[in-house]
Amino acid sequence: RSTKGRVNLYTPMVSKEGYSKSQLSGLLKNYFNNSFAAMASFFAKENNYTIEELDLLIKDTREELDKDNRK
Q: Domain map of the chain by residue range?
A: 2-70
pTM of the model: 0.62
DSSP 8-state class, residue 14: S
Question: Which residues have CB under 8 Å from 14's CB, separation 6+?
Answer: 22
| Segment 12-70, tens digit of pLDDT | 999 999 999 999 999 999 999 999 999 989 988 999 999 999 999 999 999 999 988 88
Number of H helices, E strands in the chain: 3, 2
The pLDDT of residue 1 is above 70: no
